[in-house]
Chain A
Amino acid sequence: MAGFDKVVSSYEAAMEGLKDGDTIIAGGFGLCGIPEGLISEIKRKQTKNLTVVSNNCGVDDFGLGILLHDKQIKKIIASYVGENALFEKQLLDGEIDVVLTPQGTLAEKMRAGGAGIPAFYTATGYGTPVAEGKEVKEFDGRPYILEESITGEFAIVKAWKADRYGNLVFRHTAMNFNPMAATAGKITVAEVEEIVEPGELEPSQIHTPGIYVNRVIKGDFEKRIERVTTRD
């Protein structure tokens, strides 16, 4: 690796340094826009006691759900976990901690974490169980709760295209949480469909600038769809 070239050629190299107890921030919404190969590598490595920050936790046999099989996840911070029977079982058995977090608050926690903002006030969740134990402050007569931002040892994201410098472009709604997640990792790894040379991406069309990205790997994606709905 030389200069700004972020490309790595193996999943081992992509996730090198991940250790037990780390926090991983993952992009994706349901199964859309998830770094499939990086998740598989975490399973292969058998890293344990992970804290995972992600909107969802995959399904039983795909996405982050595969990290549940060997109880690699100790804690998950997510907005919706209703698609996963194994998750439900581990939650009911007390084997996994879950911090349910409103979706917009979760996105903002990642965004703020990546931007060096330690906490922010939001009206979301005021007066609900989410507000328990959190500072309340009024602005213009409306109460807001203080939410702390999130960063992690690793962020894993999925992009459509990257150049060698780690500039990323996402495709359609596979963008979702990926840009925020990318900013919030001490080491951010992007798994992408296509790697191009620097200069091939239009600078003004780049979603995530390469400064946030430490490693880029070309992946092969199954791109499983959770609910195929058609008008036919």
Chain B
Amino acid sequence: MALSREQVAMRVAQELQDGYYVNLGIGIPTLVANYVPEGIEVMLQSENGLLGMGAYPSKDQVDADMINAGKETVTAATGAAIFNSADSFAMIRGGHVDLTVLGAFEVDQNGNIASWMIPKKLIKGMGGAMDLVAGAKNIIVTMTHASKHGDSKLLESCTLPLTGVNCVKKIVTDLAVLEVKDGAFHLIERAPGVSVDEIISKTAGKLLVEGDVPEMVF
């Protein structure tokens, strides 16, 4: 069965390592913070200028001057640092953020990502996504494997305007975990109960399947 949003987030959380600085995008990536494995510490970076994002505040703690990049009220975790936007993107562009997790409309077999613009629909802007994909050491994309109409989102070549090129290393979809390297998607794991054939049929780009592909373990 296809994974729920929470399960996708749980699977991404298994990629976290002790001491990681992580930037989580809006949507499923945000949920990853709820599933940080026991025994490890990660620090969340919010690109409006906060390293060490904490939980949402209690009603009494709500402070208009304390928000995250999604413009939600948040708190600062113990040991947090707050800084300006140029410093925030210096740490992003300078390759100091260990992992970025973000959503996408499309990813292709060369690691290109399209996530910010659908022509002829309203264009709202890229925010910090282009900086994040250009700068993070490691990028994981979360998305559904195919659209509601069944169209694959894992393509030979992205059709939508790009957010970044040759940057996506790993994809966690509702059906599979895939690595992107050497011009192909490599199937690493499949969702419990999802067949390799289904993943093949829903992957438009070049897909390499080697040996028995294990099911994800939660």
* Chain A residues near B (Cβ < 8 Å): 29-33, 55, 78-83, 88, 92, 100, 102-108, 110-111, 122-130, 160, 170-180, 207, 223-232
Contact B161 A128 (CB under 8 A): yes
Residues of B133-164 contacting chain A, CB below 8 A:
134-135, 161-164
User: Any chain A CB within 8 A of the CB of B112?
Assistant: yes
Contact B82 A172 (CB under 8 A): yes
How close is B179's CB to chain A, nearest CB, in angstroms? 21
Contact B86 A230 (CB under 8 A): no
Residues of B60-88 contacting chain A, CB below 8 A:
61-74, 76, 82-86, 88
Which one of B62, B93, B112, B127 contacts A123 once the chains associate, using CB atoms below 8 Å? B93
Contacts of B173 in A (CB 8 A): none
User: Any chain A CB within 8 A of the CB of B183?
Assistant: no
Chain B: interface residue total (CB-CB under 8 A): 53
A153 to B70, CA, bound (A): 30
Give A114's nearest chain B residue, CB to CB.
B86
A176 to B89, CA, bound (A): 11
Contacts of A108 in B (CB 8 A): 86, 89
Contact A126 B134 (CB under 8 A): yes
Which one of B65, B92, B129 contacts A173 once the chains associate, using CB atoms below 8 Å? B65
Contact A80 B67 (CB under 8 A): no
A231 to B125, CA, bound (A): 29
Which one of A107, A126, A127 contacts B88 once the chains associate, using CB atoms below 8 Å? A107
Contacts of B127 in A (CB 8 A): 79-80, 102-103
Q: Which of B7-15, B116-124, B193-201 contacts A (4 or more CB under 8 A)?
A: B116-124
A111 to B135, CA, bound (A): 19
A32 to B123, CA, bound (A): 22
User: Any chain A CB within 8 A of the CB of B209?
Assistant: no
A81 to B125, CA, bound (A): 6
User: Any chain A CB within 8 A of the CB of B168?
Assistant: no
* Bitwise interface map of B from 97 to 126 toward A, beta carbon under 8 Å scored 1, else 0: 000000000000000100001000011111
Contact B126 A100 (CB under 8 A): yes
Give A222's nearest chain B residue, CB to CB.
B64
| Given known A82-B125, A123-B135, A230-B56, contact A207–B64 (CB-CB < 8 A) | no
Secondary structure call for the A interface? loop
Q: A82-B125, A224-B64 are in contact. List 13 more A-B contacts (CB 8 A).
A: A29-B71, A32-B71, A79-B128, A100-B123, A103-B85, A103-B126, A108-B89, A122-B134, A172-B82, A223-B64, A226-B67, A227-B70, A227-B73
Secondary structure call for the B interface? loop
User: Any chain A CB within 8 A of the CB of B55?
Assistant: yes
Contact A79 B162 (CB under 8 A): no
Which one of A31, A80, A176 contacts B85 once the chains associate, using CB atoms below 8 Å? A176
19 A-B residue contacts at CB 8 Å?
A: A29-B67, A29-B85, A32-B48, A80-B126, A81-B124, A102-B127, A104-B47, A126-B134, A127-B112, A128-B163, A171-B65, A172-B66, A172-B76, A179-B86, A225-B64, A227-B73, A228-B62, A230-B59, A232-B58
Contact A180 B124 (CB under 8 A): no
How close is A52's CB to chain B, nearest CB, in angstroms? 14
Contact A30 B67 (CB under 8 A): yes
Contact B84 A223 (CB under 8 A): no
A227 to B26, CA, bound (A): 14
Contact B73 A228 (CB under 8 A): yes
| Given known A174-B65, A231-B57, contact A100–B125 (CB-CB < 8 A) | yes
A230 to B67, CA, bound (A): 11
The 8 closest A-B pairs by CB, nearest first: A104-B89, A82-B124, A104-B131, A127-B165, A80-B125, A223-B64, A107-B85, A103-B128
Give B122's nearest chain A residue, CB to CB.
A88
A196 to B62, CA, bound (A): 26
